[in-house]
Amino acid sequence: MKSFFKTTFACVLGVFIAGILLFWLFIGSVISLATFSTTPSYTSKENTILILKLEGELTERAKDDPLNILNSGEYIPKAGLDEILKAIQIAKWDNNITGIYLDISNFTGGYASIEEIRNALSDFKKSGKFIVAYADMYTQREYYLATAADWVFMNTIGMLDFRGLSTTPTFYKNTLDKIGVEMQVFRVGTYKSAVEPYITTQMSEANRKQTASYLNSIWETIISDIAEERQIEKHILNDYADSLVSLQEPQWVQKTKLVDSLLYRPEVESFLTQLCGVENINDINWASPTDIVSTAKKIKSKDRIAIVYAVGSIDGISSNGIISDKLVRTLKEVQDDESVKGVVLRVNSPGGSAFGSEQIWHAVEQLKRTKPVAVSMGDYAASGGYYLSCGANRIFANPATLTGSIGIFGLVPNAQKLLSEKIGLSFDEVKTNKYGAFPTIERPMTNDEKQKMQTYINRGYDLFIKRCAQGRKMSVDQIKNIAEGRVWSGKDALKIGLIDELGDMQKATEWIAKKCDITDYEVIEYPKKKSFYEELMNELRNGVSQSFMRLFLGNEYQYKKILDQIKQIDPIQAQMENIELE
């Protein structure tokens, strides 16, 4: 028996050690592949085209995707909005770059972000250089981006989706009923629709009204931009949108001048050789945004402008969003840095924790005492995203930005049926005082608890209103008239005073420079981007943890995941509903 245990222990230990060795061998292989797959340092050459290979989801900042190596077998850095905009700006002044080629495939991004790319492309065209766009099939947002080009080409048997905007919210009430979870909801604001999916099965009239308003506003921006570039009147574009363009013949798409020509990819490449004045496609040098940005001269100056990114939900479940205490520390670091003369806070957030939002607001207020702060809004800067923005010296947004949503709600789940009937748990409690066990998900709230909770939510809403009134230099009543949780487009937000100016991050940076009276300055970004190794370890940490939990819990893992998510959610939220524009 003793020998048996020794043998068993040795086997287990051997497997464990082998597993560790294989794990680190895997890590080393991935890092080595990334190292050897990375192309040599880029050098600017004649007859170069900046190729914007737009595919997948557009992120706010460029980041490494280590595990993509396993799928593609090569290391391909993924460009973010920041890198794309920088590359276009550099390419405008690089004499070796003859033009830009938009190679679009399965690309998705917010309309405000796409607006920023279009604006950069329009500025690029002032150099007299060409822009060519091509796709086998265009989605609506891809087509919107492509229309900034001089020539828009589509595959001979391609398809163009152009049908107007819509949004289709998902309602969870029936699903929650089935798994035994009741969401006890507390809110302030007629238009605060983020709670609707948990308590009803369809949109309220107020929500339908606000949704129609911002959809029409953004659509007006889109067709106005397309009309200007394609020289097609807006009412005709609307007629096309109502004709189900995606099912029309490609020849019809060309005949209506929505695209310039129907070409196969080799024919597009031949067209590019003509534009570059070369005989063969191999005579063209191709440069990615990463290549172009690598050539940028590092400006060293005693004067700096800091760009601080606040991207994602505030103190949400994902670690990739805004973690309020980390952002507060970053803002404090920027405040204490005497070389930083001004700050651009880049906000792309639908909101989140009301508590976290207040902490960030306070940090911005402290920062504003020592140096000017401008906010640049991305696709979203709503609810908590607007909360942390409202105190800035100046607020910039794009016409298609979704902002406002000044309101607060509370969600306290009652998981009694899930825990008792589905999983089979039972609970008991001992307490010294009346509310010693509050809040709890094991039972429904009492009427007394609900009343006190609603009072707490009301108090949070009043504070939110006060912060907005203070920041926007408006009265409390003025803010209340445009609050109530209502979502506004950037264009409409300008009309009612929620923002100061329509413009992108470049415009916000220029405003800060002018405010600080500096012309020669260095731009530094916070937080620092993660290295390839840090991204890899983060991906593996999350993946390994989930795999072990699935292995241990089996079919019960789904319930464990639901419970973890419920417990991690801050019960008091300043967050906009999840809006997907289609």
Convert 75-126 into a string of H (helix), E (strand) and C (coil).
CCCECCHHHHHHHHHHHHHCCCEEEEEEEEEEEECCHHHHHHHHHHHHHHHC
Residue whose token pair is 């013949």: 249
Torsion of CA 146, 147, 153, 157, to 10 degrees: 80
Common-topology check for domains 48-163+244-294 and 304-427+434-575:
yes
Is pLDDT at 21 greater than 90 in this prediction?
no
Nearest to 397 by CA among 375, 430, 373, 364: 375
- Work out the percent of the chain whose per-residue pLDDT is above 70: 81
Domain-wise residue ranges, the chain? 48-163+244-294, 304-427+434-575
Average pLDDT for 171-180: 92
Q: What is the pLDDT of residues 392-427, one digit of tens each?
A: 999 999 999 999 999 998 888 999 999 888 888 888
Helices assigned H by DSSP within 231-264: 234-241, 250-255
What architecture is domain 304-427+434-575? Alpha-Beta Complex (3.90)
Decide the pairing of beta strands 48-57 and 501-502: unpaired
Specify the DSSP element, H or E, that contains 477.
Answer: helix 476-482
pLDDT score recorded for residue 510: 96
pLDDT band at 27 (very low <50, low <70, confident <90, very high): very low
pLDDT score recorded for residue 411: 86
- By mean pLDDT, which of 44-53, 216-225, 554-563 is the weakest? 554-563
Q: Tell me which of 569 and 340 has the higher pLDDT.
A: 340
Q: How many CB atoms within 10 Å of residue 391?
A: 23
Q: How many CB atoms within 10 Å of residue 247?
A: 9
Mean pLDDT of the chain: 86
> What pTM value is reported for the model?
0.85
Mapped to the 3 state alphabet, what secondary structure does 479-513 carry?
HHHHCCCCEEEHHHHHHHCCCCEECCHHHHHHHHH
Query: What are the phi and psi torsion angles at 198 (to 5°)?
Result: -95, -15
Query: How far is it, in rounded angstroms, from Cα 105 to Cα 125?
Result: 23
Query: How far is it, in rounded angstroms, from Cα 146 to Cα 131?
Result: 9
**Options 193, 349, 383, 405, the catalytic residue:** 383
pLDDT score recorded for residue 421: 85
With b meaning 16 or more CB within 10 Å and e meaning fewer, what string describes 426-461? eeeeeeeeeeeeeebbbeebeeebeeebeeebeebb
Contact 342, 305 (CB under 8 A): yes
Query: How far is it, in rounded angstroms, from Cα 329 to Cα 362?
Result: 12
Is pLDDT at 194 greater than 90 in this prediction?
no
pLDDT band at 39 (very low <50, low <70, confident <90, very high): very low
Torsion of CA 375, 378, 380, 383, to 10 degrees: -10
Q: Is residue 450 helix, strand or coil? A: helix
pLDDT band at 439 (very low <50, low <70, confident <90, very high): confident
Average pLDDT for 516-539: 76
- Work out the percent of the chain whose per-residue pLDDT is above 90: 68
With b meaning 16 or more CB within 10 Å and e meaning fewer, what string describes 105-144? eebebbbbbbbbbbbbbeebbeeebbbbbbbebbbbbbbb
pLDDT band at 463 (very low <50, low <70, confident <90, very high): very high
Is pLDDT at 36 greater than 50 in this prediction?
no
Is pLDDT at 568 greater than 60 in this prediction?
no
Q: Tell me which of 42 and 390 has the higher pLDDT.
A: 390
Query: How far is it, in rounded angstroms, from Cα 572 to Cα 460?
Result: 9
Average pLDDT for 493-520: 96
Q: CA triplet 83, 365, 379: central angle to 5 degrees?
A: 35
Is pLDDT at 506 greater than 80 in this prediction?
yes
Nearest to 35 by CA among 530, 531, 529: 531
Amino acid at site 453: M
Query: What are the phi and psi torsion angles at 406 (to 5°)?
Result: -80, 100
Cα end-to-end span (Å), the chain: 67
pLDDT score recorded for residue 156: 97
* Residues near 406 by beta carbon (within 8 Å), at least 6 away in sequence: 189, 383, 386, 387, 464, 465, 468, 479, 482, 483, 484, 485, 486
130-138 β-sheet, strand order: 261-262, 151-160, 130-138, 97-108, 48-57, 285-287
CATH for 48-163+244-294 is: 3.90.226.10
Mapped to the 3 state alphabet, what secondary structure does 179-239 carry?
HCCEEEEEEECCCCHHHHHHHCCCCCHHHHHHHHHHHHHHHHHHHHHHHHHHCCCHHHHHH
Q: What is the pLDDT of residues 257-315, one digit of tens each?
A: 999 999 999 999 999 999 999 989 999 999 999 999 988 877 788 899 999 999 999 98
Report residue 193 as tokens: 């629709």
Average pLDDT for 12-33: 50
Amino acid at site 560: K
Catalytic residue list contains 434: no
Is pLDDT at 144 greater than 50 in this prediction?
yes
Decide the pairing of beta strands 151-160 and 97-108: unpaired
**Options 92, 192, 341, 371, the catalytic residue:** 192
**Cis bond upstream, residue 372 (ω within 30):** no
- By mean pLDDT, which of 390-399, 439-448, 493-502, 506-515 is the weakest? 439-448
Nearest to 130 by CA among 144, 146, 149: 149
Contact 118, 81 (CB under 8 A): no
Catalytic residue list contains 126: no
Concatenate the DSSP letters of all residues of 344-409 into one string.
EEEEEE-EEEHHHHHHHHHHHHHHHTTS-EEEEEEEEEETHHHHTTTTSSEEEE-TT-EEE---EE
Query: What are the phi and psi torsion angles at 420 (to 5°)?
Result: -85, -45
Is pLDDT at 245 greater than 80 in this prediction?
yes
- CB half-sphere exposure, 223, CA atoms < 13 A: 19
pLDDT score recorded for residue 537: 54
pLDDT score recorded for residue 37: 45
Torsion sign (Cα): 492, 57, 146, 123: positive
Average pLDDT for 49-60: 92
Residue whose token pair is 């999840």: 578
Query: How far is it, in rounded angstroms, from Cα 32 to Cα 38?
Result: 10
